[in-house]
Chains A and B, each alone.
Chain A
Amino acid sequence: MNRKLPLGDKVLDAFVESRAAVSVLVVALGFACGTVLVLAVGRNPAGMYAGILQTLSGWDLTRGTWNARYIGEWIATSMPLVLCGLSMAFAARTGLFNIGAEGQYIAGLTAAQFVALLGPGIPGLHWALALAAAVAAGAAWGAIAGALKARFEVSEVVATIMLNYVAFFLSRWMTGLIPGANTYRTPDFPLTARLDDAFLRSITNGSRLNIGLWFTIGSVLVFWLLMERTRAGFALRATGFNREAARAAGISVRSATAASMAVSGAFAGLAGAVVALGSFSYGRVLGGLDNYGFDGIAVALVGGSTAFGTAAAGLLFGMLSSARPLMQSRGIPKEIALIISGLVVVFVSLRAAFKAAGDLMAARTAAAAASTGSENPEIEGGAA
Chain B
Amino acid sequence: MNAFAGFLAAVLMMASPILIAATGGMISERSGVVNIALEGLMAIGAFTAATAHYFLEPSVPGSVWLSLVLACAAGLAFSAIHAYSSVILGADQVVSGTGVNLLSTGLTVFLAQILFGRERTEPFRLGIMPGVFGIYPTAIVAAAVIVGAWYVIYRRPIGLRLRACGEHPHAAASAGVDVKRVRFGAVLASGGLAGLAGGCLVLTQTIQYTQNTINGAGFIALAAVSFGRWLPEGVAGASALFGAAVALAIYMVNVEALRGLPSEFFSAMPYVITLVTLVLFSGRNYAPEAAGKAWEPGGS
Contacts of A159 in B (CB 8 A): 275, 278
Query: Is the beta-carbon distance between A346 and B103 smaller than 8 angstroms?
Result: yes
Counting chain B CB atoms within 10 Å of each CB, which of A37, A336, A348, A353 scores highest? A353
B interface footprint on A149-173 (CB within 8 Å = 1, 0 otherwise): 0001111011101111110111011
Min CB distance A41 to B, Å, is: 5
- Is the CB–CB distance between A333 and B114 below 8 Å? yes
Q: Judge if B105 is at the interface, Cβ distance under 8 Å.
A: yes
Determine whether the beta carbon of A41 is less than 8 Å from that of B275.
no
Whole-angstrom distance between the alpha carbons of A41 and B114 in the complex?
7
Instruction: Report whether B106 and A337 are in contact in the complex, using a CB–CB cutoff of 8 Å.
Output: yes
Q: In this complex, what residue of B is CB-closest to A165?
A: B271
Q: Is A342 in contact with B274, judged by CB distance below 8 angstroms?
A: no
Q: Which residues of B contact A223 (CB under 8 A)?
A: none
Contact B113 A335 (CB under 8 A): yes
Asked whether any CB of chain B lies closer than 8 Å to the CB of A301, the reply is yes
Flag whether A217 is at the interface (Cβ < 8 A).
Answer: no
The answer to whether B278 and A154 touch across the interface, beta carbons within 8 angstroms, is: yes
Residue of A nearest to B280 (CB): A152
If A158-B278, A342-B104 touch, whether A99 touches B92 (CB-CB below 8 Å) is: no
The reply to whether B105 and A353 contact each other, CB–CB distance below 8 Å, is: no
**Inter-chain contacts of B99 with A (CB < 8 A):** 342-349
Least CB distance from B245 to A in Å reads 11
| A162-B271, A163-B275, A288-B212 known; A345 vs B102 contact (CB < 8 Å) | yes
Interface of B is mostly: helix
Q: Of B95, B212, B262, B267, which contacts A345 at CB under 8 A?
A: B95
A215 interface hit (Cβ, 8 Å): no
- B60 on the A face (CB < 8 A): no
- B-side contacts of A350, CB under 8 Å: 85, 89, 91
- Any chain A CB within 8 A of the CB of B109? yes
Instruction: Tell me the minimal C-beta distance from B282 to chain A in angstroms.
Output: 4
Chain A proximity of B51: nearest CB distance (Å)? 14
Closest to B274 in A: A162
User: What does the 1/0 interface line of B70-102 toward A look like (CB < 8 Å)?
Assistant: 000000000001000110111110111011111
**Complex interface: chain B residues within 8 A of A41 (CB):** 114
B90, B219, B278: the one within 8 Å of A353 (CB) = B90
| Chain A hits for B178, CB < 8 A | 1
Bits for A345-365, please: 1 = Cβ < 8 Å to B, else 0: 111111011101100100000
Chain B residues contacting A343 (CB-CB under 8 Å) are: 99, 103
A335→B268 contact, CB < 8 A = no
Neighbouring A residues of B103 by C-beta, 8 Å: 338-339, 342-343, 345-346
**B272 CB–A CB distance under 8 Å:** yes
B75 to chain A minimum Cβ distance, whole angstroms, is 16
Q: Chain B contacts of A297 at CB under 8 A?
A: 98
Determine the distance from Cα of A343 to Cα of B262 in the docked complex, in whole angstroms. 39
Question: Does B189 count as interface, using CB distance less than 8 angstroms?
Answer: no
- In this assembly, does B63 line the interface, its C-beta being within 8 Å of a C-beta of chain A? no
Residues of A within 8 A of B107 (CB): 335, 339, 342
The answer for the CA separation of A338 and B275 in the assembled complex, in Å, is 30
Contact A157 to B264, CB < 8 A, known contacts A335-B106, A356-B90, A357-B90: no
A251 interface residue per 8 A CB criterion: no
Name which of A163, A168, A176, A345 has the most chain B CB atoms within 10 A of its CB.
A345
B interface residues, how many (CB within 8 angstroms):
57
| Cβ contacts under 8 Å, A301 to chain B | 95
Q: State how many residues of chain A have any CB contact under 8 Å with chain B.
A: 57
B272 and A166 contact, CB distance less than 8 A: yes
Query: Contacts A176-B262, A288-B212 given: A342-B91 contact, CB under 8 Å?
Result: no
Is the CB of A148 closer than 8 A to any CB of chain B? yes
Give CA–CA (A357, B296) in the complex, Å: 9
A356 to B91, CA, bound (A): 8
Q: Do B219 and A360 touch (CB < 8 A)? A: no
Is B100 touching A346 in the complex (CB atoms < 8 A)? yes
Enumerate B31-81 residues with CB–CB distance to A below 8 Å. Answer: 34, 36, 81
- Is A294's CB within 8 Å of the partner chain B? yes
> Complex: how many Å from CA A153 to CA B279?
8
Q: Could you tell me if B222 and A158 are in contact, using CB atoms closer than 8 angstroms?
A: yes
Q: Judging by beta carbons under 8 Å apart, are A165 and B268 in contact?
A: yes
B216 in contact with A333 (CB, 8 Å): no
Which residue of B96, B106, B110, B278 is within 8 Å of A341 (Cβ)? B106
Instruction: With both chains docked as a complex, state the minimum distance between the C-beta of A303 and any C-beta of chain B, in angstroms.
Output: 14
User: Which residue of chain A has its CB nearest to the CB of B178?
Assistant: A1
Q: Which among B88, B272, B282, B296 is the interface contact of A154 at CB below 8 angstroms? A: B282
- Does B226 sit at the interface, judged by CB under 8 A? yes
Mark contacts of A163-189 with chain B using CB atoms, 8 A cut-off: 1 yes-contact digit, 0 otherwise.
Answer: 111101110110010000000000000
Is B128 on the interface with A (CB-CB < 8 A)? no
Q: Once the chains bind, are B110 and A152 in contact (CB under 8 Å)?
A: no
- Which residue of B89, B94, B298 has the most chain A CB atoms within 10 A of its CB atom? B89
- Of all chain B residues, the one with the shortest Cβ separation from A176 is B262
| B196 CB to nearest A CB, Å | 22
A357–B262 alpha-carbon span in the complex (Å): 51
Residue B265 lies at the interface, judged by CB distance under 8 Å to chain A: yes
Given contacts A154-B279, A346-B81, contact A341 B264 (CB under 8 A): no
Contacts of B294 in A (CB 8 A): 356
Write out the residue numbers on chain A whose beta carbons fall within 8 Å of the beta carbon of B223. 158, 161-162
**Given the interface contacts A154-B278, A157-B36, A335-B106, does A99 sit within 8 Å of B98 by beta carbon?**
yes
13 pairs of residues in contact across A and B, judged by CB atoms under 8 Å? A1-B173, A37-B110, A97-B94, A99-B94, A161-B223, A165-B219, A288-B215, A294-B101, A335-B119, A344-B99, A345-B98, A349-B91, A353-B91
A-B pairs with lowest CB-CB distance, top 5: A338-B106, A342-B103, A353-B89, A345-B99, A342-B102
Q: A154-B275, A173-B264, A335-B105 are in contact. List 12 more A-B contacts (CB 8 A).
A: A152-B282, A161-B219, A163-B275, A170-B268, A333-B109, A338-B103, A339-B106, A344-B99, A346-B99, A347-B99, A352-B91, A356-B296
